[in-house]
Chains A and B, each alone.
Chain A
Amino acid sequence: MAGKTKLRIQDLAKIREKTKSLMTIRESEGRARVTVHMGTCGIAAGARDIMDALLEEISKANLQDVIVTTSGCAGLCNAEPMITIELKNQPPVKYGHLTPDKMRKIFVKHILGGQMATDLVLAVGSETVY
């Protein structure tokens, strides 16, 4: 992983491959990867409370294999706070208009149960990158 060593150009490809495999959780051991969208808009809409609720549920359930990470604004500010959940080998699922209670419901149904909480889902899949 990137440390205090000075990188050379050829090192970039190595980091790329290694990190990508960690991030896609295809090859990692994780059960799920949850991204809380924490741009200023998300935080203002309450993303920190969502994060707290998520971390609390994870620690209550004593799960070691859920990767929690943050990212910037997902674009659709009026649906903030938003999260994205990726389960192994499934397309990412975005949830919006969250509250801590909704987060807890999604945790039980989607992260623990593996079923999308369809009534709360915003969309499935990723965006079009040109």
Chain B
Amino acid sequence: MVCAGTGCVSCGSFKIKEALEKEIKAKGLAEEVQVVATGCNGFCERGPIVMVQPDGIFYQLLKLEDVPHLVEEHLLKGRPVKSLMYVPPAEKAPVPKMKDIEFFKHQRLIVLRNRGRIDPEKIEEYIAFDGYEAMGKALSGMTPAEIVDEITFSGLRGRGGAGFPTGKKWAICAKEKASPKYLICNGDEGDPGAFMDRSVLEADPHAVLEGMVIGAKAIGASKGFIYIRHEYPLALKRMEIAIRQARDNGLLGEDILGTGFNFDLEIVQGAGAFVSGEETALIASVEGHIAMPRQRPPYPAHKGLWGHPTVINNVETWATVPNIIRRGSDWFQALGTDTSKGTKIFSLVGKIANTGLVEVPMGITLREIVFGIGGGIPDNRDFKAVQIGGPSGGCLPAKMLDLPVDYESLTAAGAMMGSGGMIVMDDKTCMVDVAKYFLNFLQDESCGKCVSCREGTQRMYEIVKGITEGKGQESDLDLLEELASVCKDASMCALGQTAGNPVLTTLRYFRHEYEAHILDKRCPAGVCKALIRYVVLAEKCTGCQSCKKACPNDCIKGTLKDVHLIDQSRCIKCGACKEACKFEAIEEQREEAIQVI
């Protein structure tokens, strides 16, 4: 945008505009770059001014001879020219641009393209950023088969975990003769530390809705359900508003956009069980039954909701669909790897400098996500592992950091894409304790239908818990591996089939930690409370009584200026005394802390 206010025109902005147009044409960028004259910018003393959108970068005091350099560097090579940039007078250095910040720099937004820029409760703001354009295109200018083909060619795979090709699923369902057919949006996000779906539903509910209308046309469905867990009140509220607005504007309901196509949506609230995210369990829940999985086949695409053909996709998958229809499958294909196309959203949590939601191209390495976007591990600690894919996923160690993030690579490494939770762990994390945490979660969430999963997760939890308490035996590791493999073979749904993953990957990559717990009765990370103890070092203790005052359990004895003593039988290993001591007189001992009888 070239400023064409009186001030700038008098400094020669029209000549700059002409020179820009000429240079852009010469570089063959005329198709992509548009030169626009704007009204006065109000920075007349800095004219002529040019602003480059969408970067929002301001160039000032331009001269004709700057133009070729500017076009070459910024427009062609994407490198803003610092020397010409506007620096506000009070600033010594330019403030950081979003593009320079590691966290934002490596992200490529497709599904999250509207995050932070539209008001999710205003349908017209969604429309302002090309919303419902894809739906218009699909309903008026495409046949169902063309829509299915477009999705198939795009290479889009389910973003809920397993990565089944979306186009294939739709094609299977489209072929079914039975009527009515149903669509379901799976918003039952249950992985600890994962919040991708919630964020999409909260930030851009209309995108999910638009994707579903397009899917409805593709498979011939007239009714759809959006399943959102009741722990997501804001997502529920915003989706309710979105559905109401879409209906009021004729974008949902009968005769959508005047094309004669009918489709309506309803929200179903889930009660928050982890297993409800499994598709057959979710369908049972929508039908009003207890959320328990059933045997597949028949797959839902053949016989789903109330026995009718049903396409069930994840929130992120649905929100990707309008973008593919609008921009074309070739556009989508261009990003990603051979087998995994497009982008994936991850929620980055744990011991990492930048926690948050990131959307990255498939094929990016874990290192780029953790150390580039995530900013590495805080407090100068070392990276130990990253847990990917929720309870069904696995923990990958530092040596796997250069692994590309795609469905196949992650599965081969023993983890899985899952819905996209990423928990980063530092060297103060005990991997046995992590396995215990996930097993506890799984044994709690197992629906109990399959014996292998119901009993298997409980026994595995008990064994690992025993190991963390110093009661482990050498034979435990073989038993764990056996239980995990039986659980995998004999359970019906993905929850049971993958329940062994937290144990298997930690055993595969961190076996030495299990061995330290079992053989040396030692927790290398100092996490397992039964395997550490706090002792007062007599030579350093000044008897100042700070530790005694800090102890929440009153188990430190000692009078002023005398060496203190911790009563080990009552110590709860909270570490408050160590923190309170100014003389480093309290030591955390990890070696043979307990004597096993």
Contact = CB atoms under 8 A, between A and B. Distances in A.
A18 B121 CA distance: 17
Nearest to B130: A16
B127 A6 contact: no
Contacts of B119: 35, 69-71
Contacts of B121: 70
A7 B251 contact: yes
Given A91-B57, A118-B90, A126-B55, A77 B95 contact: no
A2 B97 contact: no
A55 interface: no
Contacts of B357: 73, 75, 77
B573 to A, nearest CB: 29
Interface stretch (B14-22, B100-108, B512-520): B100-108
Given A8-B258, A88-B42, A125 B97 contact: yes
A25 interface: no
A126 to B, nearest CB: 5
Nearest to B334: A130
Nearest to B90: A115
Number of contact residues on A: which range applies? 35 or more
A96 B278 CA distance: 37
B112 A6 contact: no
Interface in A82-130: 84, 88-94, 115-116, 118, 121-130
Contacts of A5: 249-250
A15 to B, nearest CB: 5
A93 B116 CA distance: 12
A80 to B, nearest CB: 9
A8 B120 CA distance: 22
A129 B98 contact: no
B315 to A, nearest CB: 13
B115 A71 contact: yes
A98 to B, nearest CB: 14
Given A19-B128, A40-B234, A126-B117, A9 B56 contact: no
B98 A71 contact: no
Given A6-B250, A12-B136, A16-B127, A129 B120 contact: no
A78 interface: yes
Interface string B560-576: 00000000000000000
Interface string B118-139: 1111011101111011001001
A40 B198 contact: yes
A30 interface: no
Contact of B115 (A20, A74, A90, A123): A74
Interface in A41-67: 41, 43
Interface residues of B, number: 75
A121 B91 CA distance: 12
Contacts of B100: 123
Contact of A39 (B136, B140, B203): B203
Contact of B56 (A19, A73, A124, A130): A124
Contacts of B235: 40
B57 A72 contact: no
B153 interface: no
Interface string B282-326: 000000000000000000000000000000000000000000000
A127 B107 contact: yes
Interface string B470-498: 00000000000000000000000000000
Contacts of A78: 353-356
Contacts of B116: 35, 37, 71-75, 84, 127
Nearest to B257: A9
B594 interface: no
Given A115-B88, A124-B56, A126-B56, A73 B203 contact: yes
Given A2-B123, A77-B357, A130 B128 contact: no
30 contacts: A4-B248, A15-B127, A16-B128, A20-B128, A23-B125, A35-B117, A39-B202, A40-B195, A40-B232, A71-B118, A71-B203, A72-B199, A72-B203, A74-B116, A77-B355, A78-B353, A89-B51, A91-B57, A118-B90, A121-B95, A121-B96, A123-B101, A123-B104, A124-B96, A126-B98, A127-B104, A128-B107, A128-B109, A130-B343, A130-B361
Interface of B: 38, 41-42, 51, 54-58, 88, 90-91, 95-101, 103-105, 107-110, 112-121, 123-125, 127-130, 132-133, 136, 139-140, 195, 198-199, 202-204, 232, 234-235, 245, 248-251, 255, 257-259, 335, 343, 353-358, 361
